[in-house]
């Protein structure tokens, strides 16, 4: 009975494989080719990639082959972009390609660091051990990135609402209220200032549009210069409050990716080169590439980073201690966790401070408008009473 069950299961797997093989050989219509081209131009979301790694880890831990695991994931996937990628993975794995080789064809969806980590573990034959850890690390990096984006988007959105309220008041409300004053020569200074600001909003708005267009053209031309990205991202690193958050975010990402690669037995020089492409900041990228060249000349990491303002002294001291004990990957991941917590705390405090600050700013604007309108009325009442 058990032999019959095994034979029956083998037939099912064989039938599934035959179905998949026939689908690979089937001719594609013109519309299917266009659809495949459009799908190839898109990339998968980080959340979908994390789920893919977790499911693949579960299946390979259950001793399912990589081809069969990929076929199962492809058959149940709903997202057409990821489904197409998994379909191509199945096709390439059947031709004895490694998973890392399949991922290299989709560099917009899979980071170079991920490819190298998987490539290293494929050599040991323990790929299933790294997939779950890789999913956890990617999730942490993405979580921190989303927090910093939200920390910048939220106050920007509130500021846009405040500017819209000011524009409505200056163009629609204030002019009608100021029309009640006949002789405008004897008005108080605050009222004259409000009239001037309202006049700019009503009669000279096209200057603001012109300025925005000129600024947009300037940015477009500046982007074509070789140094624009370095200058712009260096400016982002030095903005008050947000510059500090950006630095901590870059240091966290650098530490985490560098630690992954070192723990996966990738060489220090290669790990630094890959990490430089992963930090997404041109200033740190150039510095890490310089660090990589120093390491090639047998200069220790802490010696190369010593007195560098881009890397804090605490981090350099920790690298110095643990570099001597050959446990650098353990130290770097601790640094990443420390900066993750620092970014969390800073964003939490920033969100708490921004809301009352914006409310106070809007209250001051409304108070000034009300005072500028009511002051001549109160002066007139005083004159009548006298």
Residues 125 and 105 in one domain: no
Mean pLDDT of the chain: 77
Element (H, E) at 275: helix 268-278
Residues 187 and 95 in one domain: no
* Average pLDDT value for residue range 317-326: 76
How many structural domains are present in the chain?
Answer: 2
Residues 327 and 216 in one domain: yes
* Average pLDDT value for residue range 360-366: 81
Closest by CA to 86, choosing from 77, 97, 98, 95, is 77
Give the pLDDT score at 290. 92
Q: Among 95, 110, 125, which residue terminates a domain?
A: 110
Residue 34 has pLDDT above 50, yes or no: yes
- Tracing tokens 């519309």 back to the chain, one arrives at 31
Residues 242 and 292 in one domain: yes
Quote the tokens at residue 36.
Answer: 């495949």
24-33 residue pLDDT tens: 444 456 666 6
Residues 192 and 300 in one domain: yes
Residues 92 and 145 in one domain: no
Residues 103 and 175 in one domain: no
Lowest mean pLDDT among 5-9, 147-151, 193-197, 371-375: 5-9
- Tracing tokens 């524009």 back to the chain, one arrives at 167
* Average pLDDT value for residue range 156-169: 80
Residues 143 and 66 in one domain: no
Q: In terms of residue numbers, what domain contains 216? A: 111-386
At 380, the pLDDT band (50, 70, 90 cuts) reads low
Give the pLDDT score at 13. 41
209-235 residue pLDDT tens: 888 899 888 888 887 787 888 888 888
Residues 105 and 253 in one domain: no
Residues 159 and 254 in one domain: yes
Q: Among 110, 127, 162, which residue terminates a domain?
A: 110
The string of DSSP codes covering 286-321 is HHHHHHHHHHHTT--HHHHHTT-TTS-HHHHHHHHH
Lowest mean pLDDT among 91-100, 145-154, 243-252: 145-154
* This prediction's pTM: 0.68
**CA-to-CA distance for 201 and 149, rounded, in angstroms?**
31
Residue 7 has pLDDT above 80, yes or no: no
Residues 106 and 122 in one domain: no
Quote the tokens at residue 379.
Answer: 């002066």
* Average pLDDT value for residue range 326-349: 78
Residues 120 and 53 in one domain: no
284-318 residue pLDDT tens: 989 999 999 999 988 888 888 888 888 888 888 88
Q: Among 61, 94, 110, which residue terminates a domain?
A: 110
Quote the tokens at residue 315.
Answer: 């981090």
99-121 residue pLDDT tens: 888 888 777 788 777 888 787 77
Residues sharing a CB contact under 8 Å with residue 271, sequence separation 6 or more, in sequence order: 258, 261, 262
Is-contact 90 66, C-beta < 8 A?
Answer: no
């Amino acid at each position: 009975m058990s032999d019959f069950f095994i034979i029956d299961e083998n037939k099912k797997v064989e039938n599934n494989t035959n179905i998949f093989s026939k689908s690979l050989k089937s001719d594609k219509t013109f519309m299917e080719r266009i659809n495949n081209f459009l799908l190839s131009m898109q990339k998968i979301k980080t959340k979908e990639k994390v789920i893919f790694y977790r499911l693949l880890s579960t299946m390979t831990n259950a001793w399912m082959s990589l081809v069969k695991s990929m076929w199962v994931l492809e058959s149940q996937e709903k997202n057409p972009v990821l489904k197409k990628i998994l379909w191509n993975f199945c096709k390439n794995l059947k031709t004895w390609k490694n998973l890392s080789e399949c991922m290299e064809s989709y560099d917009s969806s899979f980071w170079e660091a991920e490819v190298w980590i998987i490539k290293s573990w494929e050599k040991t034959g323990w790929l299933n051990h790294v997939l779950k850890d890789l999913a956890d690390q990617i999730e942490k990096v993405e979580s921190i990135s989303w927090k910093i984006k939200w920390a910048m988007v939220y106050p920007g959105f509130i500021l846009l609402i405040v500017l819209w309220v000011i524009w409505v008041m200056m163009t629609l409300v204030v002019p009608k209220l100021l029309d009640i004053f006949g002789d405008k020569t004897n008005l108080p200074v605050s009222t004259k200032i409000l009239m001037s600001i309202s006049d700019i909003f009503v009669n000279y708005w096209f200057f603001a549009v012109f300025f925005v267009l000129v600024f947009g053209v300037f940015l477009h031309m500046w982007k074509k210069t070789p140094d624009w990205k370095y200058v712009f991202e260096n400016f982002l690193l030095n903005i008050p409050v947000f510059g500090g958050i950006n630095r901590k975010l870059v240091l966290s990402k650098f530490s985490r990716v560098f630690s992954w690669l070192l723990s996966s037995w990738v060489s220090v020089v290669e790990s630094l080169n890959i990490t430089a492409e992963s930090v997404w900041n041109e200033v740190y990228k150039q510095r890490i590439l310089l660090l990589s060249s120093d390491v090639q000349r047998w200069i220790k990491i802490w010696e190369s980073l010593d007195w560098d303002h881009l890397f804090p002294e605490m981090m350099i001291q920790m690298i110095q201690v643990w570099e001597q004990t050959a446990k650098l990957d353990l130290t770097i991941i601790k640094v990443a966790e420390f900066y993750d917590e620092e970014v969390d705390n800073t964003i939490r405090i920033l969100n708490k401070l921004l809301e009352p600050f914006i409310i106070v700013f809007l209250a001051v604007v409304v108070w000034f408008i009300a005072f500028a309108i009511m002051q001549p009325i109160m002066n007139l009442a005083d004159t009548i009473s006298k």
